[in-house]
Each structure stands twice: as C-alpha cells, then as structure tokens.
C-alpha cells in the first residue's frame, strides 16, 4: 500500500497544511519495491511536493512541472486574487503534463514501432493494416504517466491543493487530496465527517492519521 495525503487546517491564525506520506516505493523498472523512499520533493524555497507511483517517472513529472510552479510562487499572491492565481497555475501545470504525456507516447511508439507520434500520423494509414492501426491507437490511449503528484500551496489567507493523477488530469482538490494505491480508502474515511479547512491543527492531524491507518488495512495492496 502506498499513500500520500495533504489536508489544510489552521494553526494559531494563518492557514497550515498537514502533509503525510509513507515510504513504500518502486525502483528502476518497477519490479522492485522498498520502504526507504523519500516521497517529498521541494520546489523553490518552501513548496513541498508529494509523489506516488514509479519513482523515476514521478521525478520526471515533477521536473516538468517545476518551471510552472516556480513561475507562480504562492507567497507573492494578493489574497484577493487567489482564484485567478490558481487558475493560472492550473493552466501552466496542464501544459507541463501534456508535454510529459507526449514524451511518454513518443517513447512508447519508438520502442514498439520505431517512430514517434508525428511520424506515425504521417504514414500510419499506408503502412499498417486496419487492425494494427486500431491496436496502436488503443495502446496510445492507455499510456499512463506512471506517477501521481500532490502540489500543496499556501498564501497568507488560504491553502490550495492541486492533484495530478496518473491519466494526466490536473485537479484543484476540494478540502484535501490523496494519491497512491491507498488513496480511495483514505478519501472515503476523510469524507465520513464534514471537512472544515479552518479546523485546528491537532484535529486535522488526527483525521489524516485515521485515514492513513484505515488505508493500511486493505489486504489487496
């Protein structure tokens, strides 16, 4: 079971974030797992990013997103314009994810048919049978990022949690976010009680810990 959780709360007066991660990770080709994986990545001076999935692919995804994140660091945002800022960074991150997805598709096609996407589109109809052509498009549709990322951001007024899932969706999460194989169970537990972004630190910490322990009970991972 792998799991990362981010959840907002209040500590004294300013907004705060609880970040929780296990240490289970896969290495190399994904055939070997260990419990010594650091799932925190730091971008800029104070933005901690959580990763899940195949570690090499997660690192490459974070590297692609780093420019977008650094270009719009949250500490410089006027609180009145938080929604505008978040929309802008979502657009930048979607562009970064699309570039990464294109790299993975090109890599898959080069390894399987010896050409990238542009070359495939130029000659596919003439070179491949209808069945082979359809099969290649199905494979392209199944190309996954192989990783998930949580990007938690803070302003002086509000915490924002952005999720990137394995399919490439970039999501502005409501209240809290979870990634990894245990994320579904963790989110179900977190949803059992109404969530308040202004809840005290210790209450939030308990809620996150409760979700983590519940997710660990799943025998399937």
Does residue 208 lie in a domain region?
yes
Q: 119-138, pLDDT tens digit by residue?
A: 999 998 888 999 999 999 99
Q: Which pair of tokens denotes residue 167? A: 């399919």
Region 169-190: mean pLDDT is 94
Q: Across the chain, what does the average pLDDT equal?
A: 88
The yes-or-no verdict on residue 35 having pLDDT over 70 is yes
> Any idea what the CATH number is for the domain that residue 81 is in?
3.60.20.10
Domain count, the chain: 1
Radius of gyration of the chain (CA): 19
Q: 41-86, pLDDT tens digit by residue?
A: 988 766 789 999 988 899 999 999 988 777 655 444 555 566 777 8
Region 95-112: mean pLDDT is 95
Region 15-25: mean pLDDT is 90
How many helices (DSSP H) and strands (DSSP E) are in the chain? 6, 10
pTM of the model: 0.87
The yes-or-no verdict on residue 146 having pLDDT over 80 is yes
Task: State residue 27's pLDDT score.
Answer: 65
Q: What H or E segment, with its residue span, contains residue 68? A: helix 55-71
Does residue 167 lie in a domain region?
yes
The yes-or-no verdict on residue 210 having pLDDT over 50 is yes
Enumerate long-range contacts of 85-91, CB under 8 Å, 24 or more apart.
85/155, 86/153, 86/160, 86/162, 86/172, 89/153, 89/162, 90/162, 90/170, 90/172
What residues make up the domain containing 46?
Answer: 4-216
Q: Under a CB-based contact definition with an 8 Å cutoff, are residues 18 and 218 in contact? A: no
Does residue 221 lie in a domain region?
no
Does residue 34 lie in a domain region?
yes
Task: State residue 88's pLDDT score.
Answer: 84
Does residue 13 lie in a domain region?
yes
Does residue 55 lie in a domain region?
yes
The position carrying tokens 């322990």 is 213
């Amino acid at each position: 079971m792998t799991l990362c959780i981010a959840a907002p709360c209040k500590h004294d007066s300013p907004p705060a974030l609880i970040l929780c991660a296990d240490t289970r990770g896969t290495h190399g080709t994904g055939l070997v797992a260990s419990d010594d994986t650091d799932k925190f990545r730091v971008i800029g001076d104070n933005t901690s990013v959580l990763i899940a999935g195949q570690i090499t692919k997660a690192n490459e995804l974070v590297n692609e997103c780093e420019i977008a994140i650094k270009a719009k660091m949250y500490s410089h945002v006027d609180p009145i314009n938080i929604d505008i800022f978040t929309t802008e960074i979502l657009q930048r991150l979607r562009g970064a994810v699309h570039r990464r997805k294109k790299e993975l598709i090109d890599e898959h096609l080069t390894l399987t048919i010896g050409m990238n996407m542009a070359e495939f589109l130029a000659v596919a109809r003439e070179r491949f049978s209808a069945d082979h052509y359809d099969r290649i498009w199905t494979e392209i549709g199944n190309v996954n990022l192989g990783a998930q990322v949580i990007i938690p951001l803070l302003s002086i007024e509000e915490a924002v949690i952005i999720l990137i899932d394995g399919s490439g969706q970039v999501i502005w999460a409501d209240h809290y976010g979870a990634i990894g194989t245990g994320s579904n169970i963790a989110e179900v537990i977190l949803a059992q009680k109404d969530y308040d972004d202004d809840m005290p630190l210790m209450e939030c910490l308990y809620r996150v810990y409760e979700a983590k322990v519940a997710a660990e009970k799943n025998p399937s991972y």
